[in-house]
Structure 1
Amino acid sequence: MKRISFLLAVGLTTAVTTATRAQEPSLAEMAGQPPADAVEAPPAPALGPPRNSAGGGLEAESLPAEQAEDLAPGMDSIRTLGPTPVADVRFLMDQLGLQRTLGDSGIRSFGWIEGGYTGASPGSGLLSVEPRQNRFGNEFLLNQIGLVLQKPLQRGGLNFGFNVRYFAGADAALGQPKGGIGSTVTSSRFSQDFRDLYVSAHLPILTELGMDVKVGRMNSIIGYNGFLAPYRPFYSSDYQFFYSQDGAFTGALTNLHVSNRLDVWNGVTLGANTFFTMRSAHSVCYIGQVNYWLTDEQKTRLTGSVYAGPNAIFAAPGMAGDFNTTVELRVQQNWTQRFTQIVQSNMGWDSDTPVGTGSWYGVYTIGIYHLSDKVDALARGEWFTDVKGTRTGISTDYSEVTLGLNWHPVKYLDVRPEIRGDFAGAPAFGVNGAHTDFSQLTGGISCLVKF
């Protein structure tokens, strides 16, 4: 006790002395000169979108937030409540000293590790239909080990950037691209991939805010839920994500900043999930998107997308046609500082499949309520119909309800438990390719460590 009392006394005396000195002008200050300790190192460049404390902006764990992170920071802000964006954790940059090495180059590095367990009512093995990425029942997966080295573009004059986003794990096996670095790996539980490998440029043309261009291998712009763990709110995925969208491709994209509230994307791809090669002999596809905030406060965001071309997205085995068209409509509404709702609908058609023209339609809503600065409550309800079975292999209607939490006690950790029920109008669920059940219950939990 005497030792503790002595230490407390020393600490209190030091604090009082420091505070007193801080209130007294130094000789340099009285002479009109700044004190020596007032000279600070220049701050690191702002490489990401600002945090929005007024209740507007994007949720950090979403594909739109990933796009805002990668290109032209400052156009779209990120909401203050919710998990810390992975790029803002800065363990590699600050604690490991990469910021000193990279200086004011504008280059940054960050990463993450995600693993989780899923219990499933159909039993152990690969779930025949959803949920993805936690697709193995009664099994722990090391989903992702991610590492990023990037130079985001800046607003203003002509400047150049790049993005190298590497990841490995079970999800890399699930999303393995044609021609990718892990394409010779046969394991369904571990592989590797470059999710992004592109160069970019900001061109001060056409509008006052200019246009961004990126060329190479990159994430898709369609969908709310990202493929990578830091950019999706749930451990499991929606039907639209896996059966109606292409998660990544090789191609070229432009993003014209018409105003602070309006962005227009246009691009060309080489078909579904490719790594600097074409999916098929004629798989040159068009992709486009319009994003519009109704007000400067970024409360309501409207998104419309289209993706069309030969082999633009995947079909069920043996059910591919010769021309895909996907249309997506989405609205994000920030009702309050704590509550965000997303409503998204996908519609798609695939011509000349073995069963004629296949079609699919889906709609879901996601609610994200920030109970506190450490805990978020999540809910998702979805309906999806696979007309003629060209997406899932079973021609039927599907629905699902998912309830979850996101506990993020510190900036580098997210723990995401969830419980989910899936229902179908025909026997669709099972394991290892079997379709035996009308319903499926899963419970999962993932741990996401960001650095």
Structure 2
Amino acid sequence: MKKIWIIAACVCVSTTPARASSWFGDTTLNGQIEGGIMANPARPTDGENFGQLLADHANQPSLNQITLTFTKPVDPIGGGYGLGVNLRLLYGSDARIYNIAGISDRAFSSRYQIMPVFANVALHMPWLTQKGLDGQVGIFTAPMGVETLDPSTRPFYTLAYTTEYSTPFEHVGAMFQWHLDDHYDIQFGIDTGNQTTFGRKDDNAEPAGYIGLTANNLLDGKLSLTYLTRLGPEDSVRALGPSANSAMRIWNDLNGNYKITDKLTVYAEFNFLHDEGLRAETYSAVTWLAWNVTPSLTLNYRGEIYRDNSGLMVTQFLSDTAYAKALLGDPARTENAPATTYGSLSLNAAWHPTLGHHIKFFQIRPEIRFDRSLNGTSPFNDFRNDGMFTFGGDVTLGF
């Protein structure tokens, strides 16, 4: 499993001076396709796998993503400064959930929609420390959490409750990484909110932002840790009135990974969210275990306990535009369970053989998943059951 810094991974500064005429010489253009299905033997009449956002349609295949990625790595432009460009466009069912209000939420209203995953200018600035400051300005993926939107950098087709309901997805603003030394980075940034932009398409009139610390390659390179806190209003004025501009949502996420052996790695995430406007709280713990059996086969485990204290956070969206409407406080077809403690166990095998020169990435991931209410509620399968069993998986092709 890779960490979430898809954008930050592009911020690498060459030490060789580059001529202006060759500045675009190291640009890359890549594509990727992912599709999958999660079957539900209970056949819920609403057709939904409750608590799953990307694999929500029970027993129906989905074209989750077709992505096109343009990358211009950061190269020197003089005086120790560097400049680069990152752009990724996505078409598919995943865009229903990750869309950005005011930018891509009205482009399509069908099951398959389009969105920019990131579109930013990447900067290197020789400030404050020897390694300086890196940043991304524009549209960027949220830095909080472990699981990513990119299927090639996360272990499972489905997502944890923590990823779906207690970490943000997309931002418009600026995010920076201040490199203190070889091991420690301070991360900070400001944005318009989760999946919103400037003007009328912001759900409230206030910004939000991050502060946190990353520690990499500790204990002889075996341990890495990231802590981020996020603060700002995230509720909609249309739903709560003017109080939404001052009602804070506080997100806290600590995650890390430890390399037990060359083939076995454990990951863990601890998350706490408090929303003043909704009077809601969630807290959770997630663990992953990845065993690289061979260079082309990885076996993965994920276990999670997730508490939704109010029943307002874990939401199922029953139409293709429901998520985007609910984000802005507009009427939307949704379902919520009572306050519930969710337990979830997922197992899969990720087979990713090397196919040839023109196929950069190929992966098949069969998955089984068990979800259960741990406090006696019945949120699953049309609110008939306290548990849900799903199975399926996805296929990803990169070129």
Please say which structure displays the higher CA radius of gyration: 1
1:43 is matched with none
SS across alignment from 1:345: strand
Structure 1 unaligned segments of length 5 or more: list them: 1-58, 75-100
Partner of 1:427: 378
Output the CA distance in 2 between the equivalents of 1:242 and 1:318.
22
Kindly state the Cα deviation for residue 388 of structure 1 after the two structures are TM-superposed: 1.3
User: Secondary structure of 2:101's partner?
Assistant: coil
How far is the alpha carbon of 1:123 from its aligned partner? 1.6
Instruction: Say which of 88, 105, 108 aligns to 2:28.
Output: 108
Instruction: Pick which of 368-377 and 169-178 moved more.
Output: 169-178
CA distance 1:318–1:419, change in 2 (3 Å): farther
**Structure 2 match to 1:409:** 353
Moved over 4 A (4+): 101-104, 275-278, 317-321
User: How far 1:241 sits from its partner (Å)?
Assistant: 0.6
Alignment of 1:262-411 (within 5 A): 262-275=184-197, 277=199, 279-293=202-216, 295=218, 297-311=220-234, 322-353=247-278, 357-392=279-314, 393-394=336-337, 395-410=339-354, 411=360
Q: Deviations over 1:38-67 (max 9, x none)?
A: xxxxxxxxxxxxxxxxxxxxx44x424x24
Which amino acid is 1:108 matched to?
Answer: T
Alignment counterpart, residue 444 of structure 1, candidates 370, 392, 395:
392
Residue in structure 2 matched with residue 166 of structure 1 by the alignment = 89
Distance 2:194 2:363 in 1: 31
1:261 offset after TM fit, Å? Answer: 1.1
- The DSSP-based 3-state class of the residue aligned with 2:115 is strand
The structure-2 alpha-carbon separation of the partners of 1:419 and 1:209, relative to structure 1 and needing over 3 Å to count, comes to same
Q: 2:378 is matched by which residue type in structure 1?
A: P
**Corresponding residue for 2:37?**
117
One-letter identity of the residue aligned with 2:174: A
Amino acid at match of 1:352: G
Q: Partners of 1:362 and 1:136 in 2: how far apart?
A: 25
User: For 1:208 and 1:131, how far apart are their aligned partners in 2?
Assistant: 44
Q: How does 1:203-282 map to 2 (within 5 A)?
A: 203-275=125-197, 277=199, 279-282=202-205
Could you say which residue in structure 1 is the equivalent of 2:4?
63
State how far apart, in whole Å, the 2-side matches of 1:104 and 1:352 are.
47
Contact residue 144 and residue 229 of structure 1 kept, 8 A: no
Q: Post-superposition shift, 1:334?
A: 0.9
Q: Does the Cα contact within 8 Å between 1:102 and 1:108 map onto a contact in 2?
A: no
Provide the rounded CA distance (Å) in 1 between the counterparts of 2:176 and 2:311: 34
Q: How much does 1:126 deviate?
A: 4.5
Residues 128 and 428 in structure 1, CA contact (< 8 A), matched pair in contact too? no
Kindly state the Cα deviation for residue 390 of structure 1 after the two structures are TM-superposed.
2.2
Pairwise CA distance, 1:71: 2.2
CA distance in 2, matches of 1:318, 1:372: 53
- Post-superposition offset of 1:342: 0.5
Q: Secondary structure at the match of 1:173?
A: helix
C-alpha displacement at 1:289, in angstroms? Answer: 2.5
Change (3 A) 1:128 1:308: farther
Offset of 1:103 from its aligned partner?
8.1
Deviations 1:117-136 (A, max 9, x none): 21013426542532331111
Q: Using the alignment, how far apart are the partners of 1:109 and 1:221 within structure 2?
A: 23
Distance (Å, rounded) in 2 between the aligned partners of 1:352 and 1:379: 35
* Equivalent position of 1:134 in the other structure: 55
- Structure with the higher fraction of residues in helix conformation: 1
- TM-aligned CA deviation for residue 154 of structure 1: 5.1
Deviation at 1:399, TM superposition (A): 0.6
With 164-173 and 274-283 compared, the bigger mean Cα shift is at: 274-283
Deviation by residue 1:375-428 (Cα, 9 ceiling, x = unmatched): 000000000000011211331100100000100112520001110000013111
Distance 1:73 1:345, change over 3 A: farther
**CA–CA distance in structure 2, aligned partners of residues 122 and 310 of structure 1:** 39
TM-aligned CA deviation for residue 294 of structure 1: 5.2
C-alpha separation in 2, matches of 1:329 and 1:158:
31
User: Once the 2 structures are TM-superposed, how far is the Cα of residue 200 of structure 1 from its aligned partner?
Assistant: 1.8
Aligned partners of 2:198 and 2:170: how far apart in 1? 12
User: What TM-score, normalized by structure 2, do the two folds share?
Assistant: 0.83
- CA gap of 1:128–1:108, structure 2 versus 1, over 3 A, is same
- Provide the identity percentage: 24
Q: What displacement does 1:333 show?
A: 0.4
RMSD in angstroms over aligned alpha carbons?
A: 2.5
- SS of the residue corresponding to residue 257 of structure 2 reads strand
The aligned counterpart of 1:13 is none
Cα deviation for residue 307 of structure 1 reads 1.0
1:285 shift after superposition: 0.4
Q: TM-score, normalised by structure 1?
A: 0.74
Label 1:172 to 1:282 Cα distance change in 2 as closer, same or farther (>3 A): same
Q: Is the 8 A contact 1:173 1:190 kept in 2?
A: yes
User: 1: distance between equivalents of 2:387 and 2:208?
Assistant: 36
Q: What is the CA–CA distance in structure 2 between the aligned matches of 1:285 and 1:103, rounded to whole Å?
A: 34
Does the 8 Å CA contact 1:209/1:258 hold for their aligned counterparts?
yes
SS in structure 2 opposite 1:63?
coil
